[in-house]
Structure 1
């Protein structure tokens, strides 16, 4: 259905027309969520991200605030319920629904903000793309941090792995990529929501040009590849005996898998079939047996390090003397009988609430009978900068790759390459590919080559332009060896840190305040029953 006829923007504009009919708006909101979902891995239809943003912007334009909130929430449900279905594999359907509902609420806030800012977009139509970019980036700013440290899954930026706009991550990280994608969506809705007069056609041409330029021009953004020395790195995906929550009961078999795969690599090196690596990286939970407390596990890991004659970054759980408390760590295990290097280890800084530790445990127990399966993972207190001798790693563990500051801290701390240790055995391939998309963005953002290694897949290497190499299959055993370039330029995104995002959030606050007098004026007009449009 075409949008209703509109007056042209400007100070002398007449009273705006009504919003879209509610059934149409509901359909657009659901379509918006579906488009945003299909833009993300494993579908990777990146061009649907701005389309999804545009559909929601059209649905909420000129609606009452509660309708904007509801339509945004509906779009969020269409996005997050299927996107996060992998959480139900381990936790069950109820936690999956609670997480999806909580994430959808933030999209609801974006819908509410879109409704609130409608008078500004009507008065200054050229501002609509900018307002849309501000809304989406601020929504992600809030969702990435609240509650319990936030959950950044499903950001617009993480859908752009194959898009030219990914290159903008080197200038402003994930927030800038999200902002530009959302501005493009705002240009699309402003293009469609025009009055088709001569002046309207001129404005439409301008919005079309904005959308095309923002989509294609980032391909010209220069990215400087690391030009320093290189080192050979091997990633070992040992696989687990079977997928599912109960794989931890077979943790010795998981450790054996990674040891045996490394011994196989050592045999290939000795036979001249593989290059000698300077470093081997095992995934998160590759040894769920604490090798600092279990001599058998320590002996197995040492045998692998000695055979390959290279240090191994081992993902393990480090127990404490407090019953049930532990750290999720990457610890460097050196060859030649040297053993664990306790000065070169990283403890995960951002454990996942309700999965790796349980806030509000008595209340959570009412939601799921699996609550008490969650032990108490403690948070580390320093960035994951690990000097292996062959390279300085920026180590992050599993979901931490989604958090801007945790990755950036490693680069500021001297990381030459980025390493993501993860364990996808209780999830599925879609979740693994969503995580790899984040690694691609981080590599571009910080100008560093990167790797992701998983117990079951997907594992692989990523260059500083975001291209993936040596990607493995899912639920298989694999060893991949690659030369990685060290260091790289200090990107603008690394240097500027959080400030681009803070600037965008500040701009959103200003826009919301600017809308206040316009909304009051609109309310006075509505009280005179000029249009009655806001009742829809």
Structure 2
């Protein structure tokens, strides 16, 4: 592949026919890159392949025009997002799933165009790695609050890259993965030049030195990540602060699917029953007495403020276990809305502090522009009433523990989790309901985000799910306990309430903004001269 570029769009020298002839193998390479990224994510769980995926896209777009790069990025995005997000259509059909997957793939099309544009610059591996972060930042915010699922960093649940979450959050992990793959792509290009060189040592020597330097760069990033583990917390749940004994209840549901809670009382009864059984085990000396109990999202879809029977059942469970319960409830109001709410239910005083989910899921918990979206699919009418957006950060005192509550998909939104830790959370709790996604990889993918958050903030993360996967995640991201899907489970663990701060917490979104600015600056460095040349050409033509 030649590195010569014309003075216009940054395409390699040569005829359009030559570029067309090369596009099929580039397209295949981009698709292979998307599949490699897919295999890195939970469900397949091969994190090292995350490096190979973006490397394939970097090679595919190298030296191409921006429009060709956009096509290659789209192909890569479709190969990645269509299977990754297949769980979104498990009960609602193919259209919502494919619409979401295509919308996310379009962001990779933008990345492909930008990557092609900057691929002729010096230090292009650095600029293209920064562009990955910029692209993920954009799709994590737009449209409708964004959908930051499937970011490169969220694939790294094990290994050296995971430690970097403590220094710059998920964006820094994504950058490290991308920065490793782009020198890998550049090293392959340098080795290709060595093979083509016909002039002996004088020609091959510089190319070999370049390839060796790039290989060293490939190894340097994971080595740095391995060293970064040294000052971080280990797998202990009890080190770093005063402990509280936490019980996690996974009561299970009568059936998987959108109608998981058609028998709402059965779901509530399951969680009450598991809690009462735990109380019996505590009385028998088989389990430790918990200081607090965590139930999942949707554990009571009967509003306990309005339904006296539901309130009695929750009180019965709290009185039996002798500890407050963090209940996941659907509550009427405000006004015509519903509220996805975590309620602290005390055994003596009943309901107390609450947290209302701040980021309900668009088209799942509320439908903006309902008439417009109904034109594409009547499935939007499955959302009969919209959920309200909460306004308060979810730090709750539950049994003397400052619990940071985030609900379901909120765990993938950086700012929502960061706000909770800064507000004083000594541990994080993710209340979630995964029954609507059946036996798919959604639960594993969501759990991966919880593991990144544990390392990012040096906190134990407790995940309570109606039907799985519930888990207790240590501050180093390892799993101390985990459940299986659609199986009742109860965990009791001593958990330290930590108040330490990580570098990532102190820096906040700064690493993401700095890396985004680097990537955007590289694009401007290419676009501005090209625009000036075109303006001069137009004036000359007059």
TM-score by length of 2: 0.91
Query: Which of 159, 162, 167 is the matching residue for 1:166?
Result: 162
SS of aligned partner of 1:90: coil
Q: Does 1:193 align with 2:192?
A: no
SS in 2 for 1:231: strand
- Residues 132 and 185, structure 1, Cα contact 8 Å, conserved in 2: no
Q: Which moved more, 1:393-402 or 1:213-222?
A: 213-222
Q: CA deviation at 1:217?
A: 2.6
Q: Out of 437, 452, 455, which is 2:466 matched to?
A: 455
Q: Do residues 377 (structure 1) and 373 (structure 2) align? A: no
Extract unaligned runs of 5+ from structure 2: 6-11, 195-203, 536-542
Q: What is the RMSD of the two structures over their aligned residues, measured on CA atoms?
A: 2.1
Shift of 1:118: 2.2
Mapped contact 1:429–1:457 kept (Cα < 8 A) = no
Residue 140 of structure 1 is matched in structure 2 by: 136
CA positional deviation for 1:486: 1.1
Whether contact under 8 Å (1:36, 1:52) holds in the other structure is yes
| Equivalent residue runs for 1:385-464 within 5 Å | 385-427=395-437, 428-464=439-475
Count the aligned residue pairs. 509
Q: 1:21 to 1:490 in 2, by over 3 A?
A: same
- Report if aligned partners of 2:160, 2:223 keep a CA contact under 8 Å in 1: yes
Q: Shift of residue 517 of structure 1?
A: 5.7
Residues 40-79 of structure 1 mapped to structure 2, 5 A cutoff = 40-79=41-80
CA contact (8 A) 2:119 2:128 kept: no
Distance 1:214 1:105, change over 3 A: same
Q: Where does the alignment leave 5 or more consecutive residues of structure 1 unmatched?
A: 9-14, 525-536
TM-score, length-scaled by structure 1 = 0.92
- Is 1:333 the equivalent of 2:345? yes
Whole-Å separation in 2 of the counterparts to 1:345 and 1:473: 29
Distance 1:104 1:290 in 2: 39
- Listed as ranges, the matches of 1:17-166 within 5 Å are 21-120=22-121, 124=122, 127-166=123-162
Q: Does 1:482 align with 2:483?
A: no
- CA distance in 1: counterparts of 2:528 and 2:325, whole angstroms: 62
Is 1:351 aligned to 2:360, yes or no? yes
Structure 1 residue 210 displacement after superposition = 0.9
Question: Is this contact kept in 1: 2:131–2:520, CA < 8 A?
Answer: no
SS in 2 for 1:119: coil
- Per the TM alignment, residue 481 of structure 1 is displaced from its structure 2 partner at its CA by 1.1
State how far apart, in whole Å, the 2-side matches of 1:102 and 1:31 are: 20
Give the structure 2 partner of residue 533 of structure 1.
Answer: none
1:284-363 superposed matches below 5 A: 284-320=297-333, 322-323=335-336, 325-336=337-348, 338-341=349-352, 344-363=353-372
Q: Deviations over 1:186-245 (max 9, x none)?
A: 111111111212111111111111111212331111203551111111110000001011
Contact persistence 2:63–2:119 (CA under 8 A): yes
Q: Deviations over 1:132-182 (max 9, x none)?
A: 211100000001000000001100010001121110111100111101110
CA distance 1:200–1:479, change in 2 (3 Å): same
Is 1:181 aligned with 2:188?
no
